Structure 1
């Protein structure tokens, strides 16, 4: 007796073609996937059970800042909101306005750095309280436009020639010929029909091959630039033969400023949170960012001790040659 087979379609959502013409959807998808990757940037220790790491990082990266404060249940939470109140001597806000439908808490917190009555701490994602959305949206928009151009070029590259017909009868004959060709059937157009109905062909002049190569290089450049902004070394050298090790690490110094600033902001305001609420929260790099930090620290230590560096040697990259 045959075993009955089941399809568990509930495990996988319906799969549909990716519509590159829906730009807003494409941009949102790219941003969300990058936010998923960036969730592994920092390792948090000592967070209370009321503050999940995912939500903390998501709020910081998308909102630019979060507010650590206690609710009416005397538990510590992080809230997103807006700034208000009278500015201090350096024109920084002294109040943080919150509206949370779930947690019972007051709507306004004192976040002044110099007021002894402050009852909350605002932690910024970066020194400018901006978050990563503007950066991600910028590159996601450029990548979406470039992908759409690649898609259009891919479609138009199928047309090696145009078939012209002067009337409906000729058009029908041409369409039947194309249909048979797609169906894998050999077919022909009667010469009499071709002569009478003015069926002609002409080459479809386009430079799709070269254009697609340039678009692929542009996509590689955009992705590498974004990864570099986020502290990951992704080489976008366009040389098609080889690059030496000096060129391979040329942009190492440019990788650190933003993510170092993000880490410093988190560490600095962790100290303030710990001092106000008696917690022991700490943060450090995680995943590939941690490995990069170790490599940099080791290089600095070797430099201090005068350890000789390896001579620059030729490094050949397998790059597809395109004419």
Structure 2
């Protein structure tokens, strides 16, 4: 049995629907790529098996915080929750309510739970990733449109009598004929009107801009990057300046997590929780993947 095609919405052309689908698909591709990089950035050590690190980082990505505590039935947990209005002298919440999708709830305080924050501003990463995904989608789809306009740069208007002759001319043109022949009735001067739709080919410039935008997103995430598309080589000062920004981006997230680790270990002495920035391919004691210019300890 053949599948039924989805019905078109009134007033929407197939071209518009295709463009809308590509826009959304491109946007979600960039959201997924950036989110996956984020979810894989931090390596937690010493967490009990009852704590799901993917769930932990996913909550920090979307909500900016998560609650860590001990439950008499389930053991140590890290769950989403609500920071209630009671605050201390430093405007920090002192009462929380943890919950889970299965209906589980538990009331907590700063005496028996620790709030793990995504960064020092205590904000989620999703809004930042969403902004860069939007910008990357815009430039990516602009490149697609610019390429599309290169395919048919001209439109010709001819009389019905001249249409077949012109089609034969174009067939010879597409066939790389060294000479195009026409009979005496072929009038190219007065009976053919040509509308020039050609646009400048700016895809290479847009690709450079997209590369810079991607590097900016990587810097935001604290992931190493270099502008390899520059014609001139980066001078040492530029490279070190970029490395400092990358390191700063790492530390605002890493330090927020390490502060939580200190609180967890103090509140629950039987635990020794720590977290590091994950570097692909790094062995124990190997600092070869540190940023250029970083002191090796």
**Bin for the TM-score computed over the shorter chain:** 0.7 to 0.9
Q: Alpha-carbon deviation of 1:205? A: 3.9
- Inter-CA distance 90–171: structure 2 relative to 1 (3 Å threshold): farther
The one of 195, 210, 214 aligned to 2:205: 214
User: Which of 287, 290, 294 is 1:295 aligned to?
Assistant: 290
The alignment status of 1:273 with 2:264, answered yes or no, reads: yes
Q: In the alignment, what sits opposite 2:278?
A: 286
Structure-1 residue corresponding to 2:98: 98
Task: Tell whether the 8 Å contact from 1:174 to 1:189 is kept in structure 2 after alignment.
Answer: no
Task: Quote how far apart the aligned CAs of 1:151 are.
Answer: 0.4
Q: State the number of aligned residues.
A: 273
CA apart distance, 1:280: 2.1
Task: Tell me if the contact between 2:224 and 2:291 (Cα under 8 Å) persists in the aligned partners.
Answer: no
How far the C-alpha of 1:289 sits from its partner, in A, is: 10
Q: Residue 52 of structure 1: CA displacement?
A: 2.1
CA 1:139–1:175 in structure 2 vs 1: closer, same or farther (change >3 Å)?
A: farther
C-alpha deviation, 1:96, in angstroms: 2.1
Q: Which runs of 5+ in 2 are unaligned?
A: 1-17
User: Residue 150 in 1 paired to residue 134 in 2?
Assistant: no
Residue-by-residue CA offset, 1:176-220 (whole Å, 9 max, x unaligned): 987x79x9899999875867x944335444212xx2122111101
Seen in structure 2, the aligned counterparts of structure 1 residues 198 and 296 have a Cα distance that, compared at 3 Å, is closer
Is the alpha carbon distance of 1:25 and 1:72 closer, same or farther for their aligned partners in structure 2, counting shifts above 3 Å? farther
What is the CA-CA distance between 1:89 and the residue it aligns to?
1.4
What secondary structure does 1:233 align onto? Answer: coil
TM-score normalised by L of structure 1: 0.70
- The answer for the alignment partner of 2:5 in structure 1 is none
Partner Cα separation in structure 2 for residue 175 and residue 79 of structure 1: 68
How far 1:234 sits from its partner (Å)? Answer: 1.9
- The CA distance in 1 between the partners of 2:97 and 2:35, in whole Å, is 26
CA contact (8 A) 1:40 1:287 kept: no
Match of 1:132 in 2: 125
What does residue 48 of structure 1 align with? Answer: 48
- Deviation at 1:242? 4.2
